[in-house]
């Protein structure tokens, strides 16, 4: 088996690990809330990344605080908003809405007229998620959940912009330092909302599992894939995340989607894949 095929398999396993980890995280919400669960994920992930990359070996100066802080804050807020969104809307739908962030960045940087086709598909997909007149109230999506997912997408777009800058400047060390900033921002929020429950051994072990499945394993596998796959191929495969999330939500959380919600996810995925394919053709 060649390296490229291994890279594809690694990325697919990464998507599954992230979906299972996030689904498991949602099961902790009754005890810890979205805020406490997010704090667990970021704090434990920071500890894991610090142990692996040992960023203290580099000499840091105060000038590094601003770029790494912006990167880390957007990462932390993005995680907090996304976990807040899946409290009330299905996992797969939340990912599809959040995907509008990186999609907007890709289209903005491309500026190809044909990319407006993908924008149109994404807009139609999002429109299908809006409550229609006469729609069944039982299947309608919570407006606040949609708002949280959409603002998480905005943070994802900023995360990409800030992340590219710190990656060029600090390389692999940007990730643990950015994660540290994210944890410092979100941990107080988690402590305020979850309180002493965060010290319960049952939830500590569960939080460690969330961080491992949602951050440590996906990060390691994605780095391997990025090193052995063309960027557009990587992006196209990453576009499967909403479908994997919807499947995990169904299997782990018993979340069921309506036909329109499933169609909306498919349209956003198609838009994301199309944008990645278009970018690959341009570079080729």
Give the residue extent of every domain in the chain: 3-283
Rounded-to-integer distance, Cα 195 and Cα 198, Å:
6
DSSP assigned state of 132: P
Q: Please, how many CA atoms are within 13 Å of residue 68, restricted to the half-sphere of its CB? A: 22
pLDDT tens across 141-175, in order? 788 999 999 999 999 889 888 888 888 888 888 88
Q: Is the pLDDT of residue 212 over 70?
A: yes
Burial of 117 (0-12, 13-18, 19+ CB in 10 A): middle
Looking at residue 111, what is its pLDDT?
A: 64
Question: What is the per-residue pLDDT for 194?
Answer: 93
Distance CA 96, CA 243 (A): 9
Task: Point out the least confidently predicted range of 63-67, 72-76, 248-252.
Answer: 248-252
CA 273/CA 235 separation, integer angstroms: 7
Report the candidate in 217, 95, 195, 111 with the shortest Cα–Cα distance to residue 146. 95
Distance CA 91, CA 181 (A): 26
Supply the pLDDT for residue 133.
45
Report CA-CA distances (Å) from 231 to 74, 276, 281, 284: 23, 8, 11, 12
Q: How far apart are CA 262 and CA 258, in angstroms?
A: 6
Write the burial class of residue 154 (CB in 10 Å: 0-12 exposed, 13-18 middle, 19+ buried): middle
* Confidence at residue 140, expressed as pLDDT on a 0 to 100 scale: 66
Rounded to the nearest integer, the mean pLDDT of the chain is 84
pLDDT class for 234, splitting at 50, 70, 90? confident
Please state, in angstroms and rounded to a whole number, the distance separating the CA atoms of residues 159 and 81. Answer: 13
- Specify the pTM: 0.84
pLDDT digits (tens, 9 = 90+) for 8-43: 888 889 889 988 998 889 989 999 999 999 999 999
Token pair of 177, please?
A: 């330092």
């Amino acid at each position: 088996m060649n390296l490229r095929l291994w890279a594809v398999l690694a990325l697919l396993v990464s998507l599954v690990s992230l979906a299972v980890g996030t689904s498991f995280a949602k099961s902790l919400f009754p005890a810890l809330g979205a805020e406490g669960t997010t704090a667990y994920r970021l704090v434990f992930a920071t500890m894991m990344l610090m142990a692996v990359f040992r960023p203290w070996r580099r000499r840091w100066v105060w000038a590094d605080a601003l770029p790494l802080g912006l990167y880390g804050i957007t990462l932390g807020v993005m995680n907090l908003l996304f976990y807040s969104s899946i409290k009330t809307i299905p996992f797969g739908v939340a990912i599809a809405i959040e995907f509008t962030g990186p999609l907007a960045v890709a289209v903005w940087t491309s500026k190809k007229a044909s990319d407006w086709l993908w924008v149109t598909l994404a807009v139609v997909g999002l429109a299908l998620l809006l409550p229609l007149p006469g729609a069944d109230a039982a299947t309608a999506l919570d407006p606040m959940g949609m708002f949280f997912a959409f603002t998480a997408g905005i943070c994802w777009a900023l995360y990409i912009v800030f992340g590219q800058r710190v990656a060029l400047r600090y390389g692999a060390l940007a990730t643990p330092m950015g994660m540290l900033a994210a944890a410092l921002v979100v941990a107080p929020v988690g402590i305020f909302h979850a309180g002493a429950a965060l010290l319960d051994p049952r939830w500590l072990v569960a939080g460690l599992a969330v961080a491992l499945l949602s951050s440590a394993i996906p990060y390691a596998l994605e780095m391997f894939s990025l090193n052995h796959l063309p960027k557009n191929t990587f992006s196209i495969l990453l576009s499967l995340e909403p479908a994997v999330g919807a499947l995990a939500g169904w299997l782990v959380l018993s979340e069921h989607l309506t036909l329109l919600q499933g169609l909306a996810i498919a349209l956003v995925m198609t838009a994301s894949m199309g944008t990645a394919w278009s970018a690959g053709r341009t570079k080729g």
